[in-house]
Structure 1
Amino acid sequence: MTDFSDLIEGYYKFRGTEWLTERERWTELASGQSPKVMVIACSDSRVDPATIFGTHPGEVFVVRNVANLVPPYETGGGYHGVSAAVEFAVTKLKVAEIVVLGHGACGGVNAALTQSLAQSSHGDGGFVKDWITLLDGAREKVVAEHGTGAEGQTALEQECVRVSIANLQTFPFIQERVADGSLKIHGAVFAIADGKLKVLQDNDAFEAA
């Protein structure tokens, strides 16, 4: 099992190998970043976008959260971490593409599908429970057609990506960039069990990459 001391050991290995061989690149990155792609992925420890897509530091701007969800655009009070990351990527970094990356065996999606989270009297579990209400509408659709078993899980994992894409399109600055052709939005789902990636097509179906 990896603990903090293992992470420090890993850092020393990185510092003595990869950092040295890519020292010129790290020097360039110290002066700024200019990624062309933003990836919105799940926080799940098994689904690292850099590993899956084989990217290097500075190549993708990544935000991760439970179930790779994007909330709809709103300007009210509160802390909007995902929205802030999206705003920064699009308006400041001017990324040309956004990828919403879902994955198989997603715990957040399963919690939404089975409604298995119960908030305690102390509020434990409330943050996740509230967060996954973003999938309530999608859940109703999926359960009606596929039930709450394995088929429903896979269907809701895909629907979750569609929900986030639809919510991205409620942001005015994204609407503008998509309309003028300077921004494209993609969806994909990575299967942990077999390592296969399915990409959302123009016909709204997920097909093998």
Structure 2
Amino acid sequence: MTTSTTAAGGSGFAAWPHILRPATGPSTSPLVLALHGTGGTESDIVGLAERIAPGAAILAPRGRVDENGAGRWFRRAGEGVFDVDDVIFRAGELAEFVGWALTEYDLGGRPVIATGFSNGANMALALGMLHPAVAPTVVAFSGMYPFGDRTPVSDPITTTMLLLNGDDDPMAPSTSVDTLETSARASGATVTRVRRPGGHGITEAELAEASRWVADLG
């Protein structure tokens, strides 16, 4: 049986709206940290997490930045123009939340896979690059380099990343994904990049590829 938990009330991280779906697989099953895109909520992304890691525990929090009524993970000045200071701050905040959830729900020891779409993918990537101990594995759908013209990663990282992008995506341009791939590799990350024709979104082929990739990680 699958159950869900959504925080309501309380203080601190307990007040952060989120869904926790217990694992239906073995105790070695991963925990998928699932991050929605702009305008989404925590309930929108659970199905994606189920597709890429069947049987895994799923932790889906809600982005805490309000952009004209649309939920996001960090502020921006315009399409593709990120507030990098806020990206860094929000990644740290999310890392603390994950640490709280691991303790609160007795999830310690499960490997964590951060995944997301669009804005959620960008936050998953920022988390994996700035806090690799929290998110050592990242699956990013239609994500891009989240740090603008800056390079805030100073220490070598061991993050493993799967990047899934359309070559004609105006919201996550290939040039930015090129920068992401180059920067992540230079920082020590292991990067697999899967390219396809088309633009912003998630295809069935990408979901199947992500599921195979996660399974191959063991």
What TM-score, normalized to structure 1?
Answer: 0.31
Structure number with bigger Rg: 1
Determine which structure has the larger strand proportion and give its number.
2
Q: Which has the higher helix share?
A: 1
| TM-score normalised by the chain length of structure 2 | 0.30
- Say which structure, 1 or 2, has more relative contact order (CA 8 Å, 6+ apart): 1
